[in-house]
Structure 1
Amino acid sequence: MALTNQSADVHVQVSQGPVRGRREGPDARVAAFRGVPYAAPPTGPLRFAPPAEPPPWHEPLDAAGPRGTVPLQLPSPVGTLMADPQTPQTEACLTVNIWTPGPGGRARPVLVWLPGGSFLTGGADLPRYDGAELAAQENLVVVLVNYRLGALGFLAPHEAEPATIEGTGTQLTFRTASPDGFTTNAGLLDQIAALRWIRAEITAFGGDPERIAVAGQSAGGQALAALLALPQVRPLFRRALLHSAPLGMAPLTRQAAAETADLFRTAAGAAGPQQLRTASAEQIRAAQQHILTRPRPPGDVRPPFQLVADTTVVAADLTRALRHSPPLDGTEILLGTTRHECALWFGRQTEGPDREAVLAQFRAEFGPRADEALARYTAAAPAPSQALTAAFEDLKTDAFFAAPTQDFADTLHTHGARTWLYRFDWQLPGRHQALRACHCLDIPFLLGREEARHAPLFEGTDQNTMTHLRRQMRALWGAFVRTGTPAPHTNWPAHHPDRPAIRTLGATPADTIRPSLLEPGREELWQAHTGTPDAS
């Protein structure tokens, strides 16, 4: 419960000790607590191990300002577009940032955000993830989770062992058989540990532990899809939101992950597990850079460090794992994509692909129907000169995002969840118009401070239009977090495989209901598609 509220300082008590936050946000209506540990710092012998319990403290933990708890990472292209500041990084990153309209009083619904960034970048301290405005507008408690990224979170050498999740809900624990302390999917286990801590402690911040909604964007969305298949984890939240989850990207096989780990270890100059645990941050970053700059096939944007199919925590097929898990009865789920996800990666290229290269990508997906499929995709191009580039981008968007998300929504429905689908259609104008409605574009309409909305990405954007769409999205998402339905008073029916209903946001005409995440003429192609989307 809240202890005191003197001046701008706000004090709460959690199980580990007292915490001091500070009022901020619109009219100082929100109390912010940054860098609150949910697990022990994953350093030394814990560097590649499952997250451990957070140690207690006695003096008030200073969570009143920027804590510098951004996980260790390399620069991000999205960070450049969003003008991310040079925030200090640390391995002691297993922390949460919390924004609440007020500790004490009646309990408020809780939105927990698992950031994306290809499992390589991101962090709760970045301005584009600030939750103060959303918390104030929708009267929610907003929580941003930091977790281990890159090799520190997802390195899986041959000696790594999957963790066993014992118990359930707030009583769950992790156990690993690895004598070297290496576990697969450590970053995913961090997320589970964060949810366990939030469920147990959020009452102190004015949150309702019975009304926790977990949102995952991009990599965070794929991680959330994996968590939905784990019955031990489900009691930690009531609702889920999957933003732009790359569900067409299968988790790495153990063999592929081990091969990458061997290359990483060589680049880091580490002969064995002990050398990896003692390698410096500079060695870790340099080895990651070496891995990231390896040649790869055209169109392959898969991160080298990501979920690993260890058969214990993460399955090889996330949709199939969900189908074989206990029913999702009583769970509400909101999921969707942006209209042109993959324009983020390919929209800024100065040279477009040639027809044979694009056709090769279509053959990999559609075999003998490749020419027909390419014709359907190029017909929807904004201009003839952009036809091949747009077709390539849209193919990748559909393969990694749109088609598998619609399939996942069908599975959620048949598995007992009440499900809503959306597509974010608002497109960038001006200098960055080639990015269209790209991956990550929807985030500033839910989270972020004013400075994030004036980042280079939004140069030339009409701020009034952004303000209107931002208020609309926050209201819809706030309604979902509070009640389990995003729009109780508007025409947005729940999804049914026989009656698909996808709400468009930022579209022209405004707020239409469409039958598919895919553009007209493409649904039949993907319904006949029987393989896993080709990542090359």
Structure 2
Amino acid sequence: MTGPAVVRSGPIRYAVAERFARPRPVHGHDTRPSSGEICPQPPSRLDAVMGAPLDRRPQGEDCLNLTVTTPARDTAARPVMVWLHGGGFSSGAGLMDWYDGGALATEGDVVVVAVNYRLGALGYLCLDGVAEGNLGLYDQLEALRWVNANIAAYGGDPADVTVFGQSAGALSIRLLMELPEAQGLFHRAILQSAPLAIATRSRAEAAALGRIFTERLAAHAPGVAPRTADPAAVLAAQRDTALAHRERSGSTLEPPFGPVETGGVFLDAQVRGMDIMYGWNADDMSAFPGEKSENGDPAEPTRRMYAEPLAALGRRLARAGARVHAYRLDWRPTGSAYGATHCLELPLLLGSRAAWQQCPMLGDTTWAEADELGRAMRATWTAFARTGRPGTVAPPFTCREIPAPQP
């Protein structure tokens, strides 16, 4: 929680973008106040698990905004932690109270940056002559450039940046590792419950979904082009495309709009020497009823969707010369039907009692109990951001180093 010990700045506009165009950095002569907007979006499909957000933010396309939470705007050159939220590339925002970095900043003496990026069709539509895809990813890249150029004024060290993200945010980090333009903009990374099995889709598949979106948009806004359609019509067409994609794929987990294959190869040189921690929650898949095994046990789909692909990534990163740690959270809150579910670590790391007070996945757990575990987990995250090592951990949280392969 943000208290008198920290300074929270923002929302701050870090870039601007025309619809379906790449972002452009905000220059010093642009002194307009931030809109405070978050990307237009439908309700989250995880509201039943997390609860609906209690804060209401204006939605609009001037949404490339971020916040900075720091112990002090001084010259201390603290480690910087940049947060990329999840939400299936269709919902969420760094500005939400859920993602207040006050506790991390206060307890770990770090600077926390929380980033908005474009979502759904506005961020990930792939359609010839209209949108190239991956615009939300390029928004994140622009936010990291903003951090590099500006964070020293907030007490942070631009040469000591850890990017951390959950679910779609963690997938984004995996893809940022492939972008040559991102090299040097972050030095450590934490990937929380990244569903790597659905990391990207082919450009051909993305273009096919783009054509479905165009057809559905024409039904909601006849004669109106995608670049000029009202955001409400865009969201309606996005919803219809999601339904069509579910029928085509049979998956209730894979979003209709998400990253497209970059066409590049895994850049060993980009991760060599980097500190990377990845992990998952033991019952991650309990959040997705349509994806459970026949007996309702989330263990097997969690293994298939998270544990095995993440372990393979860890081995690959270690071979490339990264220093790698893997974690797992086994905490099952009393009175919760979801166990150690997807998103459960979020209230342990970010936000406050007020932000999470109506959170179903916490069950009957008191905030004091959750915060005690959260304090330990925050210490692990900030220790990693500071040293590249998680320090001492204890159950229900486990962490181990992935050994580098022998030559």
> TM over 0.5, yes or no?
yes
Work out whether 1:309 is the aligned partner of 2:261. yes
Q: 1:340 aligns with which of 273, 283, 287?
A: 283
Match of 2:357 in 1: 454
Please give the alpha-carbon distance, in whole angstroms, between the structure 1 residues aligned to 2:279 and 2:345. Answer: 11
Work out whether 1:25 is the aligned partner of 2:9. no
Please give the alpha-carbon distance, in whole angstroms, between the structure 1 residues aligned to 2:270 and 2:93. Answer: 33
Pairwise CA distance, 1:90: 1.3
Q: Name the aligned partner's letter for residue 134 of structure 1.
A: L
Pairwise CA distance, 1:453: 3.1
Q: Name the aligned partner's letter for residue 476 of structure 1.
A: T
Question: 1:341 and 1:263, CA in 2 relative to 1: closer, same or farther beyond 3 A?
Answer: same
Q: Deviations over 1:33-61 (max 9, x none)?
A: 12211111x2xxx21011112244465x6
Pairwise CA distance, 1:513: 6.0
Kept in 2: contact 1:33–1:98 (CA 8 A)? yes
SS at match of 2:89: coil
Q: 2:234 aligns with which of 284, 303, 310?
A: 284
SS at match of 1:277: coil
Pairwise CA distance, 1:127: 1.5
Match of 1:18 in 2: none
Pairwise CA distance, 1:514: 7.4
Pairwise CA distance, 1:452: 2.5
Structure 1 window deviating more from structure 2 (136-145 vs 75-84): it is 75-84
Q: Name the aligned partner's letter for residue 475 of structure 1.
A: A
Kept in 1: contact 2:193–2:306 (CA 8 A)? yes
Pairwise CA distance, 1:197: 1.0
Q: Name the aligned partner's letter for residue 112 of structure 1.
A: V
Please give the alpha-carbon distance, in whole angstroms, between the structure 2 residues aligned to 1:398 and 1:273. Answer: 47
Kept in 1: contact 2:326–2:401 (CA 8 A)? no
Kept in 1: contact 2:353–2:367 (CA 8 A)? no
Work out whether 1:293 is the aligned partner of 2:243. yes
Please give the alpha-carbon distance, in whole angstroms, between the structure 2 residues aligned to 1:248 and 1:273. Answer: 38
Question: 1:512 and 1:137, CA in 2 relative to 1: closer, same or farther beyond 3 A?
Answer: closer
Kept in 1: contact 2:327–2:400 (CA 8 A)? no
Pairwise CA distance, 1:254: 1.3
Work out whether 1:436 is the aligned partner of 2:339. yes
Please give the alpha-carbon distance, in whole angstroms, between the structure 2 residues aligned to 1:58 and 1:76. Answer: 33
Work out whether 1:102 is the aligned partner of 2:72. yes
Q: How many residues align?
A: 396
What pairs up with 1:74-113 in 2 under 5 angstroms? 74-79=42-47, 81-85=50-54, 86-113=56-83
Please give the alpha-carbon distance, in whole angstroms, between the structure 2 residues aligned to 1:280 and 1:77. Answer: 23
Q: Deviations over 1:288-325 (max 9, x none)?
A: 111223343555410000011141xxx5xxxxx32x54
Q: Deviations over 1:482-520 (max 9, x none)?
A: 111111xx3xxxxxxxxxxxx7x652xxx556799xxxx
Work out whether 1:234 is the aligned partner of 2:179. no
Structure 1 window deviating more from structure 2 (106-115 vs 249-258): it is 249-258
Please give the alpha-carbon distance, in whole angstroms, between the structure 2 residues aligned to 1:253 and 1:310. Answer: 9
Pairwise CA distance, 1:71: 1.1
Please give the alpha-carbon distance, in whole angstroms, between the structure 2 residues aligned to 1:486 and 1:283. Answer: 46
Please give the alpha-carbon distance, in whole angstroms, between the structure 1 residues aligned to 2:178 and 2:224. Answer: 33
Q: Name the aligned partner's letter for residue 256 of structure 2.
A: P
Match of 2:324 in 1: 419
Pairwise CA distance, 1:99: 0.5
Please give the alpha-carbon distance, in whole angstroms, between the structure 2 residues aligned to 1:449 and 1:225. Answer: 28
SS at match of 2:160: strand
Please give the alpha-carbon distance, in whole angstroms, between the structure 2 residues aligned to 1:139 and 1:115. Answer: 21
Question: 1:464 and 1:310, CA in 2 relative to 1: closer, same or farther beyond 3 A?
Answer: closer
Work out whether 1:485 is the aligned partner of 2:389. yes
For structure 1, the 5+ residue unaligned runs are: 1-23, 160-179, 316-320, 359-387, 491-502, 517-536
Question: 1:62 and 1:33, CA in 2 relative to 1: closer, same or farther beyond 3 A?
Answer: farther
Kept in 2: contact 1:445–1:466 (CA 8 A)? yes
Please give the alpha-carbon distance, in whole angstroms, between the structure 2 residues aligned to 1:419 and 1:73. Answer: 35
Kept in 2: contact 1:68–1:90 (CA 8 A)? no
Q: Deviations over 1:384-433 (max 9, x none)?
A: xxxx110xx32221222110001101111111011111001111321x32
Q: 2:377 aligns with which of 458, 461, 473?
A: 473
Q: Deviations over 1:420-452 (max 9, x none)?
A: 11001111321x32x111111111111012213
Match of 1:533 in 2: none
Identity of aligned residues (%): 35
CA RMSD of aligned residues (A): 2.5
For structure 2, the 5+ residue unaligned runs are: 403-407
Please give the alpha-carbon distance, in whole angstroms, between the structure 2 residues aligned to 1:233 and 1:515. Answer: 25
What pairs up with 1:27-66 in 2 under 5 angstroms? 28-40=4-16, 42=17, 46-57=18-29
SS at match of 1:275: coil
Q: Name the aligned partner's letter for residue 72 of structure 1.
A: P
Please give the alpha-carbon distance, in whole angstroms, between the structure 2 residues aligned to 1:513 and 1:447. Answer: 20
Match of 1:529 in 2: none
Please give the alpha-carbon distance, in whole angstroms, between the structure 2 residues aligned to 1:227 and 1:298. Answer: 28
Pairwise CA distance, 1:77: 3.0
Please identify the structure whose Cα radius of gyration is greater: 1
Kept in 2: contact 1:119–1:219 (CA 8 A)? yes
Please give the alpha-carbon distance, in whole angstroms, between the structure 2 residues aligned to 1:288 and 1:253. Answer: 19
Match of 1:151 in 2: 121
Kept in 2: contact 1:156–1:254 (CA 8 A)? yes
Please give the alpha-carbon distance, in whole angstroms, between the structure 2 residues aligned to 1:450 and 1:414. Answer: 41
Please give the alpha-carbon distance, in whole angstroms, between the structure 2 residues aligned to 1:426 and 1:246. Answer: 20
Pairwise CA distance, 1:274: 7.8
Question: 1:281 and 1:420, CA in 2 relative to 1: closer, same or farther beyond 3 A?
Answer: same
Relative CO higher for 1 or 2, CA cutoff 8 Å, sep ≥ 6?
Answer: 2
Kept in 2: contact 1:334–1:420 (CA 8 A)? yes
SS at match of 2:269: coil
Q: 1:262 aligns with which of 204, 211, 221?
A: 211
